[in-house]
Amino acid sequence: MPVPVERDPAREQTLGGIFAFSAYLLWGFLPLYFILLAPTGPWEIVAWRIILSLVFCALLLTVTRSWARLAKIFRQPRILGLTVLAGLTIYVNWQVFILGALTGHVIETSLGYFINPIATVLLGVIVLHERLRVTQWVALGIAGIAVVVIIVAYGSVPWIALTLATSFSIYGLIKKRVGPSVDAISGLTLESLWLLPVATVLLVVVGATTGLTIGANGLVHAVLLSLAGVVTAVPLLLFAAGARRTTLTVIGLLQFIAPILQFVIGTTILGEPMPLERWIGFALVWVALTVLMVDSVVHARRLRQVSRAARAG
């Protein structure tokens, strides 16, 4: 009987950070990929993302001979229920993100992911009843002011940004709750499986109204669209693998990578407008994130010092 190999916690955390970094890097360039899929609309794109992600995961399960691990999850009702919730939240995130990317709101999608770490902290208070430090409350207050500034400047609620921040912070919390009970491939397989009826309805509606575009716009377009499963699955698998191995603090810090890239793409490549009011709103969000980041680093350092002192004593 083989002896189980003990995993080094420090190595696992480092590996988790690398996985999460890679996921956010890929997510940062996603708007450009979806824009390349024109004339395919956001509803059809999401439907193919779901179906092709499921196909890609099934192939991975076959190659890695992991079907037994997937079957084991079906004997755990609580964990299975959490994967259903994860699937629903990631669908909302996918749909809103693509709607934003294809309607000239890439900068607003970046705002959503800038707010995401703050939403994660707020979620910890509401759901996990965590007690915040003073600096964390300050960061939340500044972020709230930023949202008010953007609402007043534009005369409308930045619903794309708020929905993305809320849905992905909930998704991250669910992934943390699931923990090592569900590996990355099995998790995404189940999430895609639960969303299969949604994808079917979307394709039927699109086919009956505007018509499906897959295979109707040349070979290059067909190939790009067929890669939707890989493009969707790879960063999600990396994120799931990272979230299970590293801390929420590390995940929160790395979350800046994707929105920075999206913000740069929106302002420079796509030429979306950035009036003064929007700059002020974004600047306040960045100040809030800086406060949150500094607090997280200082707090983590204090915990390490206390831990060392306890071991030394």
- Give 91 or 143, the one with higher predicted confidence: 91
Q: What is the pLDDT of residue 30?
A: 92
Domain extent, residue 244, equals: 9-312
Nearest-angstrom CA–CA distance, 90 and 30: 15
For 43, 68, 225, 226, the CA distances from 214, given in Å and listed in that order, are: 13, 34, 7, 8
Q: What is the average pLDDT value for the chain, to the nearest integer?
A: 86
Q: Assign residue 132 a region: left if phi > 0, alpha if psi is -120 to 50, beta otherwise?
A: beta
Residue 4 lies in a domain: no
In a domain, 229, yes or no: yes
| Of 17-31, 103-117, 223-237, 293-307, the least confident | 293-307
At 33 the pLDDT is 94
Q: Does 3 fall in a domain?
A: no
Query: Does residue 193 surpass a pLDDT of 90?
Result: yes
Within-domain flag for 200: yes
Does a structural domain hold residue 113? yes
**Domain for residue 303, yes or no?**
yes
- Number of domain units in the chain: 1
Please give the pLDDT value at position 285.
86
Query: What pTM was computed for the model?
Result: 0.84
- For 24-46, the pLDDT digits (tens) are 999 999 999 999 998 999 999 99
Q: For residue 97, is it within any domain?
A: yes
Residue 1 within a domain = no
Q: What is the average pLDDT across 272-293?
A: 85
* Sequence-ordered alpha helix ranges (H) in the chain: 9-28, 30-36, 42-63, 67-73, 77-102, 106-126, 134-154, 159-178, 184-194, 196-208, 219-226, 228-245, 248-254, 257-264, 276-312
Q: Which carries the bigger pLDDT value, residue 152 or residue 5?
A: 152
